Structure 1
Amino acid sequence: MSSEEQSTSYARALDHAEEMLGFRLERFLEPTPGEPENASDFKRIATTHAFDDAWPRTTHLDTRTRALVSVATVASLGIAEPLRGQIRIALRQGVTKEEIVEAFIQIAVYAGVARAFDGYSIAAQVFAEQDDAS
C-alpha cells in the first residue's frame, strides 16, 4: 500500500471513528514524550484496522450487533478505557442500556463475576454521562 493510500485509509478511519464516537480521536493519538518515532505507525495501523477495516464490514454483521460484540469482548478482557469507548459506540448505534446489562450478565457467566462487575461500573458511568447530556 502506498503512503498516499495509507493516508487516505487513515483519514477514512478517523472520520468513521468520529461518526461512531461523536468526537475526533486525534487528541488520543498525538505523540507523547518519550515515544519512539514508530509509535505513530502503531497508532495509525491500529486505528485504520479498527475503523476502516473491521467496523465498516456490515454484510454479515450489522454495526449495532458488532458494537454489542465489541462491548462484550473488551469487557471480558478487562480493558477499561476501550470499554468506555465501546459502550459509547454501542449506545450511539442503538444498543439499549438494557441490552448492555444483558451482555454483562453473559460476561459474568463466561468471563467471571468480578470481571463483569468491574466492567459494569464503567457502563454505569457511561449511562450517567448519557443521562447528564440529555
Structure 2
Amino acid sequence: MTGSTATTPEQDYARALDTAEQLLGFRLERFLGQGVGEPANGADFKRLATQHAFGDAWPRQGVLDTRTRALVSVTIAATLGTLEPLRGQLRIALNNGVTPEEIVEAFIQLEAYAGAARAFEGYQVALEVFAEKAADGDPATT
C-alpha cells in the first residue's frame, strides 16, 4: 500500500520511548530491564504501560497542552501518594514549563482537598526534585 501511515508495534514503542526522553530528559530503558526474579511477562507490563502513557496519553495536544498535562499529572501522583512516579511527573513538569511556584500552588490545593499528610509527603519529593534541578543549574529552580 503506497502512502500508508500504519506503524508496527515496535515503531510505536520506539516513538513512546522517544517521547518519554523528550519529557523526562533521559531515556527510560534503564528502568525497563528485567529485574531479579521478575518473570518474563514483566517486560510486557512495562512495554504496555510505557506505550499507554508515553505513546497514547502524553502526545495528545488537542485540548490540553503538555505543560497543563504535566501539572495535572503531578497533582494526580501526589494525591495518590505514588512517590516515585511523582518524582518523574515533577521532572516532566519542570522540563515543560511548569514553575516551582506553580507546583507549590498545586500542593496548596492538594493540602486543602486531599489532606496535609498526603500533601507534605509528596512535597518532600518536590523539594528533592527542586534541589536536583538547582544542582543541575536549572535557572527555573534557582
TM-score, structure 2 normalization: 0.90
- For 1:86, the aligned partner's letter is Q
Question: When you count helix as a share of all residues, which structure comes out higher?
Answer: 1
| Distance in structure 2 (CA, Å) of the matches to 1:54 and 1:94 | 18
Structure 1, unpaired ranges of 5+: none
Match among 35, 38, 43 for residue 41 of structure 2? 38
Per-residue CA deviations over 1:66-111 (Å, capped at 9, x if unaligned) read 0000000000000111100100000000000000000000111111
* Residue equivalent to 1:130: 133
- Partners in 2 of 1:50 and 1:9 — Cα distance? 12
Q: Runs of 4+ in structure 1 displaced over 6 angstroms?
A: none
Look at both structures and tell me which one has the larger radius of gyration over its CA atoms.
2
Of the three residues 12, 23, 31, the one matched with 2:15 is: 12
Supply the RMSD in Å over aligned alpha carbons: 0.8
Q: CA deviation at 1:58?
A: 0.7
Q: Which residue does 1:114 correspond to in 2?
A: 117
Determine the structure 2 residue equivalent to 1:57: 60
Aligned length: 131
Report deviation, 1:63.
0.3
Q: Within 5 A, what are the aligned runs for 1:57-96?
A: 57-96=60-99
Deviation at 1:22, TM superposition (A): 0.6
Following superposition, the deviation at residue 6 of structure 1 comes to 1.4
Structure 2 gaps, min length 5? 1-6, 138-142
> Following the alignment from structure 1 to structure 2, what is the Cα–Cα distance between the partners of residues 5 and 44?
14
Distance in structure 2 (CA, Å) of the matches to 1:36 and 1:18: 26
